[in-house]
Structure 1
Amino acid sequence: MSGRGLPVAIVRACLRDGQGGSPTAVLDEAPLSDDEHRRVPVLMGTSHAVFVSAHDGRPSAPAVSLRFFTAEGELPACGHGTVAALAFLAGRAGGEEYRATLHTAGRVFPGWSVRKETHVNAAFDAGPVDLREPTATECGLVLPALGVTSETLAPGTRVASVGRSRLLVPVATRAALAALSPDFARLRAACDRLGFLGCYVYSVPTPTGRVAARMFAPSIGVAEDIANANSTACLAAHLAGQGVTEIAVGMGDSLGSPSTINATAQPSPSGPLVHLGGAAEVMCSVRLP
């Protein structure tokens, strides 16, 4: 690999009470091929890698490009990767607060962070969310592969997108969510056929907006994601239509790495305005092997 020796920061994104989180590789963009970009998360043992490229050095609100890769290829967006990148950039900039204008594939949006004693609280504008009813074919292919039955399914399944489509699947109880054991080969075939990023299964929210969720995305090389912030943005936009404006989503418990993603949704003329946030910590800096 031409990038041998590149420094890589490992950031735990979307911590829960200072623990767990999704380990994410963050590094400066380098002249790598797409194949070499895809190899970085594999070599680092992370689900995702984020490549950062600063457009200018303005201290007040620098412009920064972000690219996201899994072992399967490039993604147009990655919510927990954006949280990780903001923590990485804030650590490099120093100071208590950090703001940047972030550029990803097809979108420009603000991101910001505040330094705490042991971590950084990062947040960003999630952008517009598209929601629609799923077709009978979509449900017929995906739900059996997930292991969701008519007894466990709750009302409100939706196809949602913030760059790529995914299926939001509500289940009636946290126990039903924890018990899921998808057929990953079947699920990948269904998602590939339908063009879905994956499936975000979640428990019915409590009156205080607490939700548990699991994200299955074998089509992008991630059987189950520790934290999936963009799908949480989709859920926040969906629940905003039911009068729920703030949620805290717990993920990663089934993988032994608990994470929490916070989202708020406020009405606007073009649809709900969703802000996503999470705590993150830069754990260490290593070199590509």
Structure 2
Amino acid sequence: MRDGRGGSPTAVMDEAPMSDHERRRVPTVMGTSHAVFVSMHVNRPGRPAASLRFFTAEGELPACGHGTIAALAYLAQRAGRVPYRPTLHAAGGIFTGWAIREKKYIHASFDPGPVDLREPTAIERDLVLPALGVPSGTLAPGARVASLGRSRMLVPVATQSALATLAPDHERLRAACDRLNFLGCYVYSMPTPVGRLAARMFAPSIGVMEDIANANSTACLAAHLAGQNITHITVDMGDALGRPATITATTRHSPSGPLIRLGGAAEVAPSVPLP
């Protein structure tokens, strides 16, 4: 969300005996891009713990950033206490989450784990960049392939106006991402001196033509920009879809690499029956 509006609606459900085919149908019938299934761990002393599974209409994901934020808000509200600090288990790893109350919203954050970064190959550039349709002269240097569970390409453009007018060829982009086994492509404007920027995430390979908010790709960008001594970013997404969202990422250096903390605000809507 941003300033109490917009955001990426996400279906959050308690774990239930469902087939993966049934789980894939949940985002479609609920009108969301993603669904997250939550199961609490029992008989575990100390900090609460939960397992998360993430699905789109195309299948299961090892990780989902905004799905994790939604799950944290859901768990905190159900527990009836904030601050709330659970341990989360997902296919992409085990990590810590935090949730605090901010007015009528819950601000959730988590450590997504290490990010792998590399230069894209010539073949990757030749397949992805033409499909994005970046206007001539607006592509900025510094494209990277980043992985946080699954690879995606980070593509910088010079201005926010170039980002706003971007009109990818989705079928061509899907074919490129399918061939390269990419999750999608995260296009972003150059950050201001205080680390504010805009981004758009195109992920046709997982059935999401454009994601309203993509926190894990923002973590990938934060890891990349940490190498330029930019340690805090505020990323605006969703404007092209009329659903403004803002994701924050703070990075600190450690001997093992950059440590990232992702955050975003969420509002837990009343429960509705699954159609």
Could you state the TM-score of these two structures normalised by the residue count of structure 1?
Answer: 0.93
| CA RMSD across the alignment | 1.0
Q: Distance in 1 between matches of 2:134 and 2:7?
A: 26
Matches of residues 44-193 of structure 1 in structure 2 within 5 Å?
44-56=30-42, 60-193=46-179
Give the aligned partner of residue 285 of structure 1: 271
Q: Distance in 2 between matches of 1:39 and 1:151?
A: 41
Contact 2:63–2:92 under 8 Å retained in 1: no
Aligned pair partner of 1:228 in 192, 201, 214: 214
Name which of structure 1's ranges 50-59 and 104-113 shifts more when overlaid on structure 2: 50-59
Give the aligned partner of residue 5 of structure 2: 19
Letter in 2 for 1:138: E
Q: Distance in 1 between matches of 2:38 and 2:115?
A: 24
Q: CA deviation at 1:116?
A: 2.2
Listed as ranges, the gaps of 5+ residues in structure 2 are none
Q: Distance in 1 between matches of 2:214 and 2:182?
A: 15
Give the aligned partner of residue 240 of structure 2: 254
Identical positions, percent = 74
Give the aligned partner of residue 206 of structure 1: 192
Tell me the alpha carbon deviations over residues 151-210 of structure 1, each in whole angstroms, 9 at most, x when there is no partner.
111011000010000000000000000000000000000000000000000000000000
Letter in 1 for 2:261: H
Contact 1:143–1:149 under 8 Å retained in 2: no
CA 1:116–1:27 in structure 2 vs 1: closer, same or farther (change >3 Å)? same
Tell me the alpha carbon deviations over residues 35-64 of structure 1, each in whole angstroms, 9 at most, x when there is no partner.
001000111000000000011266852110
Q: Distance in 1 between matches of 2:187 and 2:47?
A: 36
Give the aligned partner of residue 258 of structure 2: 272
Listed as ranges, the gaps of 5+ residues in structure 1 are 1-14
Q: Distance in 1 between matches of 2:21 and 2:123?
A: 34
Q: Distance in 2 between matches of 1:178 and 1:150?
A: 14
Q: Distance in 1 between matches of 2:23 and 2:273?
A: 15
Paired residues, number:
275
Q: Does 1:217 align with 2:229?
A: no
Q: Secondary structure at the match of 1:74?
A: strand
Q: Distance in 1 between matches of 2:58 and 2:270?
A: 25
Q: Does 1:32 align with 2:18?
A: yes
Q: CA deviation at 1:106?
A: 4.0
Structure 1 stretches of 4+ moved >6 Å: none
Letter in 2 for 1:73: G
Could you state the TM-score of these two structures normalised by the residue count of structure 2?
Answer: 0.98
